[in-house]
Amino acid sequence: MANRGNFSGRIGFILAAAGSAVGLGNIWRFPYLAGTNGGAGFLLIYLVCIFTLCFPVMVGEIAIGRKVGSDAYGSYQKLGGGKWGYLGLFGILAGLFILSFYNVVAGWAFGYFLEISFGDLLDQQDFGAFFGNYVNDIGPLFLFSLAFMLITAYIVSQGIAKGIEAANKIMMPALYLILIGLIVYSLTLPNAMAGVKFYLIPDVGEITSRTIFYALCQAFFSLSLGMGALITYGSYVTKDQNIVSSAAVISIADTSVAFLAGLMVFPLVFSLGAEPGQGPKLIFVILTQAFQNMGPIVGRIVGGSFFLLICFAALTSTISLLEVPAAYLVDQKKFPRKAVVWSLAVGIFVLGLPSLFSQGIVPALNKLPVHNSPDFLSFVSDMCDISLTVGGCLMCFFIRYRWKMNNLNEELTLGNPSFMGSFIQKYINFTISWVCPIVLSILSVLVIIDKFFGL
Ligand code: PHE
């Protein structure tokens, strides 16, 4: 096989995979889902899902990718034969749709960065109303999301180590720093502790089946699981690396950013006397209000840099989303990388246009007759959620019944000689053989029923 490129080393891989994981999912979606689903109860279930279901799936995906050294389709096809390649294709397809709506939201964040830094956004009176108008101001948003897609394509076209890694090495640490600064600020505001309580002290009675579904889907989404992103990134990992410990670091990095985002948002929400369950507009409304309160100059600087970092976080995720279908077309169809990347970018941008137009400007896209997904963007996002949990579940079946556990163990021993016989080996084998297939099949069915019909 032609030289596909590799990550330069352990740190490069971890940063790139963590960059894929950390994104709008952590900073935009996690806080608003926690806000609408009971706060601390959601956080608790989320953490359980990460630990028991997501971490083993992540280890499995990276191992499959590294074993074969190919894209998601090629990896399943080579290890499984028969129709298993379709499982990879299913993930690739899910990735296309995720990127299509994700890029729209990234465009919103990019616009907020520009409007706060250089415009008069922070002079507004009502940030909720502003957001409602803003997402329907299609002209600029069209350009912002197009720009976002083109930047993503440029980085991916540069290849693995040069493009993807280099971008991540700068953006990830900067994101952490500003997040922590904002947490310190928000914790010093009056009534911040009410927000901390809402976020950290669970009321078990408040946990419903829907809390569990949303937490599960969010955990898969946030860790970029179930659609082949980590199979693809795993295919660029060298055999001397310890997959289990890398997966642990990636999971912890991602979970800590989501956790910190909540710790930043809820004290702000409560100190501003706002409503935690506002849905997708939560951070756009709450954060801008907080930045306004910091005064015109500080607010502009802090607010501008925060939205810029959200854009960086989103960018490291869109890079991985574009890399999945690109790797497929390069590996399987032998198309040249640059041509593949630019054509995909344009195609996916067009696929995202209905999501862009779904926030009110085209009424038919705004009120879909589907339970729980009022607009097209939410509908696509819900469908992708389903495909991620189903994809993760099928991967466990694949390992257990087709590839077989001893082959997984053998792959995981490379770069980690003490793996065999360790507690972590037993844990991963048990969760992939039993816990994940059973729990994920049941929950996937329930999630499908809930999303379509409402439980
Ligand atoms: N994990 C990313 C986020 O949290 C989104 C993503 C999902 C990226 C699936 C790649 C694959 O924002």
Whose alpha carbon is nearest atom 9 of ligand 1? 224
Task: Decide whether any atom of ligand 1 lies within 6 Å of the 24 Cβ.
Answer: yes
Looking at residue 162, what is its pLDDT? Answer: 73
Q: Which of 32, 97, 104, 222 to mutate to test the pocket of ligand 1 (most atoms within 8 A of CB)?
A: 222
How far is the centre of ligand 1, averaged over its atoms, from the C-alpha of 82 (Å)?
29
Take atom 11 of ligand 1 and give the residue whose Cα is closest.
Answer: 224
Other CB atoms within 10 Å distance of the CB of residue 89:
18
- Closest to 382 in 3D by CA, of 304, 305, 309, 449: 449
Which residue among 100, 105, 221 has the greatest number of ligand 1 atoms within 8 angstroms of its CB, and so is best to mutate?
A: 221
318 lines ligand 1 (CB under 6 A): no
CA-based angle 104:150:32, to the nearest 5?
A: 25
- Segment holding 425, helix H or strand E: helix 423-430
Q: Is 278 in the pocket of ligand 1 (CB under 6 A)?
A: no
pTM, two decimals, is 0.96
Q: What is the residue extent of each domain of the chain? A: 10-453
Q: Is 222 in the pocket of ligand 1 (CB under 6 A)?
A: yes
- Output the CA 177–ligand 1 centroid distance in Å: 21
103 lines ligand 1 (CB under 6 A): no
Q: How many CA atoms lie within 13 A of 293 on its CB side?
A: 15
- For ligand 1, atom 6, the nearest C-alpha belongs to 224
Cα separation, 270 vs 194, whole angstroms: 6
The Cβ of residue 424 has, within 10 Å, a number of other Cβ atoms equal to: 16
Half-sphere exposure of 286 (CA within 13 A, CB side): 30
Number of helical (H) and strand (E) elements in the chain, helices listed first: 23, 0
Backbone angles phi, psi at 295, to 5 degrees: 95, 160
Q: CB burial class (10 A; 0-12, 13-18, 19+) of residue 453?
A: exposed
Q: Which helix (H) or strand (E) holds 204?
A: none
Please state which of the four CATH numbers 3.40.50.150, 1.10.3720.10, 2.60.40.10, 1.10.4160.10 is assigned to the domain occupying 10-453. 1.10.4160.10
- Ligand 1 proximity of 229 Cβ (cutoff 6 Å): yes
CA 189 to ligand 1 centroid distance, Å: 32
Q: Cα–Cα distance between 19 and 36 in angstroms, integer?
A: 26
Kindly state if the Cβ of 25 falls inside 6 Å of ligand 1.
yes
316 CB within 6 A, ligand 1:
no
pLDDT tens track, the chain, 455 positions? 446 778 878 888 898 899 999 999 999 999 999 999 999 999 999 999 999 999 999 999 999 999 999 999 999 999 999 999 999 999 999 999 999 999 999 999 999 999 999 999 999 999 999 999 999 999 999 999 999 999 999 989 987 767 667 777 777 788 888 899 999 999 999 999 999 999 999 998 889 999 999 999 999 999 999 999 999 999 999 999 999 999 999 999 999 999 999 999 999 999 999 999 999 999 999 999 999 999 999 999 989 988 998 998 999 899 999 999 999 999 999 999 999 999 999 999 999 999 999 999 999 999 988 877 789 999 999 999 999 999 999 999 999 999 999 999 999 999 999 999 999 999 999 999 999 999 999 999 998 998 888 76
399 lines ligand 1 (CB under 6 A): no
Q: Is 21's C-beta closer than 6 angstroms to any atom of ligand 1? A: yes
Give residue 266 CA to ligand 1 midpoint distance, Å.
23
Comparing CA positions, the residue from 289, 258, 335, 360 lying closest to residue 32 is 258
Distance 200 CA to ligand 1 centre (A): 25
Tokens standing for residue 427: 């844990």
State in Å: Cα 18 to ligand 1 middle. 10
CA 138 to chain centroid, in Å, comes to 25
The C-alpha atoms of residue 272 and residue 288 are separated, in whole angstroms, by: 11
What spacing in Å lies between the alpha carbon of 221 and ligand 1's midpoint? 5
Distance of CA 388 from the midpoint of ligand 1 (Å): 10
Separation between Cα atoms, residue 242 and residue 228, nearest integer Å: 19
Q: How far is residue 250's CA from residue 19's CA, in Å, rounded to a whole number?
A: 9
**pLDDT recorded at residue 3:** 62
CA–centroid distance, 311 to ligand 1, in Å, is: 13
